[in-house]
Chain A
């Protein structure tokens, strides 16, 4: 539902992106080296660093969940958005828009929980839930983006003899691209968060140490998982912001 995007001085944002990316990679690879620090912070804990799985593996698992579901969401979502904005599918647009709007009021964690009885525990149900939820912002923004194309522009494109396919590729998609990418951004950020909760339904992710820490009363694990997943989300968001800027027209 992000509608307004706000402009920031570019150098600071780019500097932040580089710094946080470096921090994310370093922490992912060398979290175990921070053992003395965590030991000092939490002297009562006997194992201050999560070791059941390497943080690199957890981060890769997390990214895999998000990548697989986002790829499906984006291809299906953009496809559906294209379909309902063409002549043959116009009739479906109000229904699809309503479903996307109503679906987004469903809490992501509840959607994840609803999928479990239908698909079981583990990687697959988490991907199903992430895909279903991630679809909605993509569809919504694809429709919104394509609807921003002025009718006069389409008329002009038709007037100079462009085919439907050319109009789509060279007029409509370039104009709509920034809004579509904004939808993908919302979808990916939500999915990074929901993949964390996926740990409660048995999908290994950066949420796994968080849950383990909350269950075992080990705040150090919680911090390690939360720090990485927070950084992952912010770095992804900044990357998408850059991408959106690149597709801004006439600004």
Chain B
């Protein structure tokens, strides 16, 4: 969604039958996935691998017929006839989400039907074809918006409605029979705690990273000689693999905790949140500093000259000219570090810092795949949502003339 370039409407002049090859490719991919891959799997218990179930076997006939009907409409949208291009796009934006919701409902419905007369330990999980049936319509929606060239406001509103609808399905009992939701039900309290711990770690890292990174970025702008060593050092940290940096901080911090009992009392020790937060701050500094620097460097010299000519002081120029003009670039940096920190916090679970990664590594250790997904899927959702929200913030921070 970051790329707003719209492919030209040359498609109408070519006179060929297929006008939207992207949409057609996605439909072919979905068809292949549905034919070749399992839609769901059913296992006797949470640790055993399941029996593959195809789409037509898992869904009721009205469900997969409706899915096929929607695929037919979408195919027509990819062709030059019968729909005019603009109508085809809006039709795609209607049919694709229905497809998405139907795939979600179909899976939940299958799970509850399949488990009705199965042993209580039996589990139903989603298969590869399910993921394809979810991702293809999302990509179709993105493609349709790109072709329409819709504003961020329209896209945002559309996404919110879609997220609310999917959220309502989760809040209702659609998915309750599904294995990943059973894991959730079994770990409800822990899940909330780990989710909040994840957010807290990200927040604890981003706060200090911004407090240090913003002045450092300004410093790099004002003093060109400081730039080389500063960026070199920060890039050095950025390069070290996360798990290595987390791990390397464990030893000195545990020594520190042993040496200074009052530090240990406030939670600084070898294992836990302290090394995680320090490592996350080190990782977050480079994007913040680099974007702050780039933001200030991008302010046109003539603009500053004009402000000085009007008699503004240096302080006024900084706050009234430079900061507002640099803000979009600085916020893009915040977007990068937020997404990065959400991802790196997963790894922090390995050194006992908690967060959603705890479910992933616990699940991997027990070979409980749905516990793994209970950690992985919300993390990915969190990263994508944070990215989207900050993207909107970046767009809003642009001065009216630049939007």
Question: Interface residues, chain A, CB within 8 Å of chain B?
Answer: 1, 3-4, 6-9, 90-95, 97-99, 101-102, 105-110, 113-114, 116-118, 189, 192-194, 196-197, 200-201, 207, 210-211, 213-214, 219, 222-223, 225-227, 229-230, 233-234, 237
Contacts and interface: CB of A to CB of B under 8 A. Distances in A.
B80 interface: no
Interface stretch (B54-62, B99-107, B112-120, B248-256): B248-256
Given A9-B228, A91-B20, 13 more contacts: A94-B7, A102-B384, A106-B383, A110-B379, A110-B383, A114-B376, A114-B377, A193-B241, A193-B242, A200-B361, A223-B251, A225-B247, A237-B239
Given A95-B22, A219-B270, A7 B228 contact: yes
A226 B243 CA distance: 8
Interface of B: 1-3, 5-7, 11, 20-22, 25, 125, 128, 139, 142-143, 146, 227-228, 231-232, 235-236, 239-245, 247-248, 250-251, 254, 270, 287, 290, 293-294, 336, 339, 342-344, 346-347, 350-351, 357, 360-361, 363-364, 369, 372-373, 375-377, 379-380, 383-384, 387
Given A101-B1, A105-B387, A230-B248, A113 B344 contact: no
B244 A225 contact: yes
Given A230-B245, A233-B240, A222 B251 contact: yes
Nearest to B234: A6
B159 to A, nearest CB: 12
A210 B243 contact: yes
16 contacts: A1-B336, A6-B227, A8-B232, A94-B3, A98-B146, A106-B384, A109-B346, A110-B343, A110-B380, A113-B373, A113-B375, A214-B350, A219-B270, A225-B244, A229-B244, A230-B248
Nearest to A97: B3
A219 B254 contact: yes
Given A93-B7, A105-B384, A210-B247, A6 B343 contact: no
Contacts of B248: 222-223, 226-227, 230
A212 to B, nearest CB: 11
Contacts of B342: 107
A17 to B, nearest CB: 13
Contact of B236 (A223, A226, A234): A234
Nearest to A191: B241
B243 A95 contact: no
A117 B241 contact: no
Contacts of A226: 243-245, 247-248
A234 B228 CA distance: 17
B240 A4 contact: no
Contacts of B240: 230, 233-234
A46 B376 CA distance: 36
The 6 closest A-B pairs by CB, nearest first: A107-B343, A193-B241, A226-B244, A113-B376, A6-B231, A110-B376
